[in-house]
Each structure stands twice: as C-alpha cells, then as structure tokens.
Amino acid sequence: MNGTRVWIGGSPCAGKSTVAALVAESVGWPLYSCDDAFDRHAAVAGPAMRKVTTMPIGERLAQPVDVQVEDVVRACREQFPLILADLPPAAVVEGAALLPSLLAGLPVPPADAVWLVPTPAFQRHHYARRRWARDLTRGLPPSAFDRWMERDERFAARVAAEARDRGYRVLTVDGSFDVQTTAEWVVDSDE
C-alpha cells in the first residue's frame, strides 16, 4: 500500500465488504462501500444503472447471460465517476463497481488495489445461504438462480483477467483463508 486509498474490487460474494472493514480498521481510514451508494447513484445515473434497477429481476435473469454481464459492466462504468466524487482524501473503497480498467485510468498503482473473486463453488454456497438472495428469486424458476450465478461467474472471470492484464493483484477466494488473513494480504503489497 503506497497511496491514500486502498481499492478492493471483485465479484459479488467474495468477502469484499468484510475484508474491507478489517482493512479500514487496520489503517484507520473510513470505509466507502460502492454498494451502499448504488441506489443514490442510480437515481442520477444513466440508462445502464436505470435498466438494472428498474427491470424486474425475473426479466433481468431471463436475458442471455452475456447481455446481463454487459449490463453490469455498463452500470459500473456509469457509477464510477459518482463514486470518485464521493470519496474522501483517504479511504478504503470496496465494491464490484471498481473495474480494473477504470482504476488503471486514474492511474491507481498495483500496490493499492486488489480484486477478490470467488470460485464458482464458494460463490454458489454463500449466495444460497443469504436470505435476501433466496427472497429475490422466490417464485422464479430454479434456472433463474443458475443464470444469476453464471452471470457472476463470468463477471468474476472477466474482472480477474482484466486485473491481471494490468498488473493488479487478484485473490481467488475458495474459503482456504480466513477473512483476517485475506485482509492482511490486501494490506501487504509485497505478496
């Protein structure tokens, strides 16, 4: 870590929020969650964020998975300038909206950013345990959950490849490290 911000991106259900909270506590900086700002940003953002917030979940998940992934990427790009406008001078910033290409354009040095991506098995296991995820897909065909997981798996693979291509660190989360060990890895830029 060399700068005044730590950036923790990646795919949903990789433990970003939990790890970011530990990192923020260890470095003494405020935590900024892109997810917490999403609804506020969606109210003023462009068509991609409006689409993902207004389209019923069943319709969204019925779209081809490639379309869903592109919608998520476009929404991340729309949200990014709003995230930047919110940030204090020093912060631990976490969220799926932190695409490696966007951070590289600032430029954020590799030591200050990391992407956490879950294995498909880890992601499915943890999503299935989240009550809000079960509630969101209640009444939808079982294939809707599978398409959601496939979307996030493809997003994870895309983000990981993009991060590696730009020299950023990527940690594949499979449950073999506890969150404290992961947080220490995030702070230690020499690994």
Q: How confident is the model at residue 183 (pLDDT cuts 50, 70, 90)?
A: confident
- Give residue-wise pLDDT tens across range 101-114: 999 999 999 999 99
Query: CA–CA separation, 103 vs 97, rounded Å?
Result: 10
Amino acid type, 33: S
pLDDT of residue 10: 95
The predicted model scores a pTM of 0.92
- Give residue-wise pLDDT tens across range 37-50: 999 999 998 999 99
pLDDT of residue 189: 60
DSSP codes, 105-171: TTTPPGGGEEEEEE-HHHHHHHHHH-HHHHHHHTTS-HHHHHHHHHHHHHHHHHHHHHHHHTT-EEE
Mean pLDDT of 52-78: 94
Q: Which residue has the higher pLDDT, 2 or 140?
A: 140
Give yes or no for a contact between 98 and 7, defined as CB atoms under 8 angstroms apart.
yes
Q: How confident is the model at residue 2 (pLDDT cuts 50, 70, 90)?
A: low
- Give residue-wise pLDDT tens across range 114-128: 999 999 999 988 888
Mean pLDDT for the chain overall = 91
Give yes or no for a contact between 10 and 97, defined as CB atoms under 8 angstroms apart.
no
pLDDT of residue 188: 81
How many other CB atoms are found less than 10 A from the CB of residue 33? 16
pLDDT of residue 191: 45
Query: Measured over all CA atoms, what is the biggest interatomic distance in the chain, rounded to whole angstroms?
Result: 48
pLDDT of residue 126: 85
Mean pLDDT of 56-77: 95
Give the rounded percent of residues in the chain with a pLDDT score beyond 90.
73
User: Domains, the chain, ranges and CATH?
Assistant: 5-187 (3.40.50.300)
